[in-house]
Amino acid sequence: MDLDRFIKYYFLRLIRIKGEPYELALGMALGVFSAMLPILPFHIALAVALALVFRVSKITAAIGVWVSNPFTWYLLYFYNYKIGTFVLGLSGDERSFFSIMGSIKESGETLETILRIAHASWTIIAAFVIGGLIMGVVAAVPSYFILLKIFNLLRDWRQRKRERKSRQKWNQ
């Protein structure tokens, strides 16, 4: 399957997702929030669990998690740590930090990264978590409103399309 066809297929599947716009947008925003947290292999699990709690779309929550992917992990974790150390007023253990960042940048191995974070000091873990929570809120809130607008536009477009089809059917 070529790339254009692949993208078109998944775009069409995305715009055909059923549900109320606020459910779809909140699900996606919860996925974006989860993606910002330093819980590398558990992003989707957290997003779907939050979607269950808030009774919103689990599918869009899982899709929203893909903001965090192998291409963005390094930047997300870097800013998680920097924001976390700033908020906590820590000077930071740069050696452990660069060891963790090196494992993300070089190999991208999930297990290796988890082990390095787990072996880091509590201050580093706290900096990652606090930074992730802040980045999660900062990214999720605007994404909710932007996606709400998009899903409302999609709903209206589908409704107009159905009405046109109905009118054409009756005019024949």
pLDDT score for 102: 72
Q: How far is CA 121 from CA 39, 71, 126, in A?
A: 16, 26, 9
pLDDT at 135: 96
Whole-number pLDDT of residue 105: 66
Any idea which residue has 């059917």 for tokens?
A: 169
pLDDT at position 125 is 82
Question: How many whole angstroms separate alpha carbon 5 and alpha carbon 37?
Answer: 32
CA distance 51 to 25: 11
**Average pLDDT for consecutive 10-residue bins of the chain (172 residues)?**
79 79 95 91 92 94 90 86 89 68 66 69 84 96 96 89 82 70
pLDDT computed for residue 147 by the predictor: 94
pLDDT at 78: 86
Burial 126-159 (b: 16+ CB within 10 A, else e): bbbebbbbbbbeebbeebbeebbeebeebeeeee
